[in-house]
Structures are given as structure tokens and as C-alpha cells.
A and B are shown apart, each in its own frame.
Chain A
Amino acid sequence: MSDPLLSVRGLTVDFQMGRGGLFSPPQVLRAVRGVDFDLTPGRTLGLVGESGSGKTTTAMAAIRLTESSGGQVHFDGTDLMTLSQTQMRRYRKHLQVIFQDPYSSLNPRERVGAIVREPLDLMDVGDPAARADRVRDLFALVGLRPDQMALFPHQFSGGQRQRISIARALATNPQLIVCDEPVSALDVAIQAQILNLLRRLQGEFGLSYLFISHDLGVVQFICDDIAVMYLGEIVEYTDRPTLFSKPRHPYTAVLLEAAPSLARRKSRGYKRQGIVTGDPPSPLNLPPGCAFASRCPQAQERCRAEKPLLQDTGAGKVACHFPL
């Protein structure tokens, strides 16, 4: 394996919450609790989890769009956390983002051509004529017609807007693109178009993706490595074939069992096995042991008392006292 493009160690993010009462101290919500991962150039690392797992916060903190309260992030040998605000702004050329909601991620008052050109303007790439050419090329690349550049975002469908978002992210030739649930707001037919496009672009430009998703089907389609997150921590971290053929963490197994599949038919009397009950514990008040213990079908006394660490098992890493 080559050197990682993005290397994250001990990343921690705290959010200040309001005070519980007039005289109690302000509460701190630890949304990301010491996360480590490496993204190899040209590959896609999936961050998977349910709402509240901290997957988006982790990715945004890694590229300094959310402020972190601890940990190191190295990108291509540069320590991102030590860069000044101005240096970081210049550095954004190399790491771009595609957002979840195509309806809110484009400025409604700007023409889409200007939206795609903006990163080039900000990074002083080329002269105005070269930028205009580049925008035309980008439109063609993502499957839009260059003569649509003068239109405004609300004149496009969700899938087309996501293509505009992708064109904007590609504008400065970045090495890394963070994809924050880029297809979860789209209809299935459009979702397939965008997923295929993302894969094609990765092959064409050797891009690396940090791909955030709650949908295991999507993750299996696009990711090479996968980190499963639960309540701000990685509970299982391995390559795709291993994760989908032999999940080690009970939570991963539960996710796989719960994910929709065409093979489970009411007509054949399908009944779900090993269903979890209840909701995750409050992140403001975590139990001392494993965070999943309260919902885990395999939980034992040790799980409730002692916190399992993420350990290498030979085939990937898992944070469980009794891996499957």
C-alpha cells in the first residue's frame, strides 16, 4: 500500500450545548471521539453509520470545515491543523466537497456557470478566458450542456443540481473529494446516474473519495474501504469484501440485516433475525462500557463495564470484546 493521502489520528470534535439549568455548567457534546483512519490515493473510504454517529462531523472536521478539539490530520504530508486560516483557504484547492442536499448546496441567486467558476476565481486559476473554457469542459464532463450555464439553480432537477455540485468540486483539480451523502436526496433512477458518474470520474482523474453514507447498498457499490461508526467512534474498519462477507462487529451485522434487499420477500414468509430494539443512548450521557451494549444481542457483563478498543484482527479492525 502506498502512503496515505489523508491520515487522521485521534480526531475529536466537541459541541458546546446550552446549560442544563441556570447554575449548571454548559454541557459538552462529544460528537467525534478519537477517530483514526487513512485514505489511500485513488481509493474510496466509506464512513457509514446512522444519524448521530458523527460520520459527517468526522469528515468535515478532517478538512477543517468544522472546528475540531483534538487530533491530527495530515494531507499529502501537510499537517492541516497547523495551517493558518489564510493558508487553509488556499489549500482548499486540493480538497473539495459534494454536499447532500442538491437543493440547498447551490446559492439560489447565482447563475450555475458562475457557481462552477467560483473556485477558479477564488484560487486565481488561469485568466478569465481560460476559466470560461474550463467551466464549459466541466459542464460537458458531468453530462450537462454548456448552454445551460446562464440558468439559475432552481431551473434544474435534483440530479442535474448534483451534477453542478460535482462540476464545482472538480473545478480546481482536487486530489480528495469529500462526498457527504451525495445521492441520499435523489430518486433511485437518478441515484444510479450519479453513482456511475462518480465512479467514472474517479477512474478518469485518479480521485480519492471520502464517502459518507447511511446506505450500505450504495457503500458496497462505491467504496473500497469502510469504517462503520457508532456514536462518534469507529467500531469496525476494514476493506469492502471482508466487511460484506464477514462482518465482525454485531452492529455491522445488525445494519446489514436491517438494510433493504430484494431477496427478502413477504411472499416467502420473511422474518428478520437478530433485530435490535430501542434507540442509541444519549451522546451527552454515555455508558462506561461499549456504547452499543444496551442494544447488542450479544452483550455480556464485560461489555457494559469495559470499553472495547479498535483492534486489528488480521482482516480489518473491530472494537468488540466478542467479535462475531
Chain B
Amino acid sequence: MPLEKTDALMSLRDLKVEFDTRHGRVTALSGISLDVKPGETLGIVGESGCGKSITALAMMGLVPNPPGHVTGGSIHFQGEDITRARARRMRKLRGGEIAMIFQEPMTSLNPVFTVGDQITEAILLHQDVSRTQAEKQVVELLATVGIPEPAKRAQSYPHQLSGGMRQRVMIAMAISCRPKLLIADEPTTALDVTVQAQIFDLMRDIQREFGVAIVLITHDMGAIAEMTDRVAVMYAGRIIEQGTSDQILDNPLHPYTRGLIGCIPVLGREAAGAEALPPLAEIPGIVPPLHLLGEGCAFAERCQLADDHCRAQRPALEIPALQNGGHPVACHHAGITTRAELPA
């Protein structure tokens, strides 16, 4: 498929990823199209199993094979299709121009080397500098990510650091080669809220300073609000809604997105003596297993608005014809919020 000219840093077009499982070959991503623009933060949000982490791995060229296979579509990074790139070229890109930080910083650092050594190695792998120069860079990097006494901390082993410090080290390593794209897969899920706030602030500072584009994979709508410019909402291996963060949070068109926002216990300051809060909105049921997906909309079974049409035919991701404009959504009843509004 010819790629239309975009100003995107990374473009996913109709990306398809399949996994071999006990239930046979299962489609984990069925045709994902996404653009990441230079310097922006794109959020990918959804429940576990929706395919958001697979998308992140695909962007890094790291879909585990076996059991995973990229079976269709393309991922263009600065004009180059990385699904067809050689392993050697991918190694050059990974950690160089595309970097990643993970959920659990403890398991992503090697316990037997000091953090300074590990960042030094990462620099030497991608840059043509001497070891002494690299070591000097390490101390600067650790200072950049807000680690006190960076020269001393570079001598520490991962287990001697707290979870927050380890995530800072991961970020230092990720930005060591000035990447253009940083993929963050639930980077704060394992951390306490006060530490999470620090890491988010750091990521925003880094973006402002280095102009790096960030893809933030998360299940947390609060993180989406605070961190992202644009959002893609995923469900059962597809993008079901896409737009600016304000569009998605203030005017969600897909019933699933509305449910996802409505079911969060939102923190709000309340007046003294207030009554108990009303029950939370619920999305009934559970995410259907991927191997049991049928022809219709994957969300139909849990959706209040679902009718026979929804169950028979899967809606495409497109901008609906609504009066107050709109953004891409995959729903036959986009913009309708209650059963009463459904056309007869």
C-alpha cells in the first residue's frame, strides 16, 4: 500500500499482529493505523488485553517471535518501513532513535552491573565517543533526570536504588542517545502516587527540553489528561476512538470510552458533611477473549446501545457526521448516549 505523505515521525498503517496460542492463531492487533508527530505525546489507553502493549512492542520491532507474527501492514519511522528492516538496522534504531521505558524498572536493569556502567554501555553502543567521555555524559544525564549526587549514584547497583530512582535511571538511559521517540509502557504503574507524579513531571520536562515525541501506554485516564496531546482508545485489538485528549475526555463518542471515563472514582474536593458519592458507572461483563471474537462489534455484548446491526457488522473507524463536528470513532451509534435516542 502506498504511504500518503505525512509529517508524522512514526506511522502505523493497517498493522496486523497475530499470536499462536492454545486456541490456534489469534489476532492480537487487527489493522491499527496511528501517527506519532514529532514532539507530541500520544496516549494509548485501554484495559489489559486490548493490545496496547503489543502495539508498543511492534513500534520497537520487539514483538516476541515465536509466538507472535507481524502479518500485515507497515510501520514507517522517518519514512523507513521498520517491519521490513534487518535485525542489525533495528538494533541501531532501538536505544538510538527509538527508546523505551518499561513498567518494572527493577527487572529491566541488569542486577550485576552498576547503573553507571549500564548507561555507559548504552552510550558506547550508539555513539562514537570514548569511554571517559561516555562516563562524563552519564553523570550529566543522571543530573538531568533529577538524581541527587549523580557521580556517586552512578556507582550504585540497581537494588540499592528505590523504585522511583530506578525509573529515573531507565529514563536517563533512554534519553542518552537523544531519541526522537520515547515509548513508555505503563511507566508508573509499579510506583507510589507521589513518585508517579515526580516521574510524570520529569517526562514533561524531558519532552520540553529535548523535543522528544512520547507514546504513553496506560490504563489510567488521569495520566492521559495530565500527559497527552492526543489519545487512541483501544479495545480487543482495534482502535475504537481517536482524537485530541480534550475531545476524548470531554466529548467521548464511543460508549466504551464513556464507560471507561465514567467508572473511575474521580477525586474531587467535597464540602464538609457531603453525602456518600453515587454509585460508579459500570461497564458490565468482561473483555471477550480474542479467540472468541465474531463478525460484529467486539463491544456489542457489553454495550447498552447494541442492536442487531452492531452484532452483525463491525463498525469502521471514521469521523461521524455530527452537528458539533467529531473525531474518528468506530461505532454505529456514535454520539448517542442513551437507548432512548436510538433511531427507531
Contact = CB atoms under 8 A, between A and B. Distances in A.
Interface of A: 50-51, 157, 159-160, 187-193, 195-196, 199, 214-218, 220-222, 224, 240-242, 244-246, 254-267, 270, 272, 275-279, 315
14 contacts: A51-B192, A157-B286, A189-B259, A190-B47, A195-B280, A216-B267, A220-B270, A244-B268, A245-B270, A260-B225, A261-B267, A265-B225, A267-B229, A276-B198
Interface in B140-174: 146, 148, 162, 164-165
B294 interface: no
B190 to A, nearest CB: 10
A262 B225 contact: yes
Given A50-B193, A157-B286, A214-B193, A260 B263 contact: no
A266 B282 contact: no
A199 B229 contact: no
Interface stretch (B81-89, B117-125, B216-224, B312-320): B216-224
Contacts of A159: 286
Given A264-B226, A267-B244, A279-B164, A192 B283 contact: yes
| Interface SS of B by simple majority | loop
B265 A241 contact: no
B230 to A, nearest CB: 10
Given A187-B47, A189-B259, A266-B204, 17 more contacts: A50-B195, A187-B287, A190-B286, A192-B263, A193-B284, A214-B193, A215-B193, A217-B265, A217-B266, A222-B265, A241-B274, A258-B194, A261-B267, A266-B228, A267-B244, A267-B246, A279-B162
Given A245-B270, A261-B222, A275-B198, A221 B286 contact: no
Contacts of B228: 266
Indicate the member of A160, A188, A264, A278 with the most B CB atoms within 10 Å.
Answer: A188
Interface size class of B (residues with CB under 8 A): 35 or more
Contacts of B260: 188-189
A265 B148 CA distance: 29
Contacts of A218: 265
B133 interface: no
Contacts of A278: 148
Contacts of A265: 225-226, 245-246, 249
B237 to A, nearest CB: 16
B219 A187 contact: yes
A292 to B, nearest CB: 11
A188 B229 contact: no
B273 to A, nearest CB: 6
A132 B249 CA distance: 47
B219 A188 contact: yes
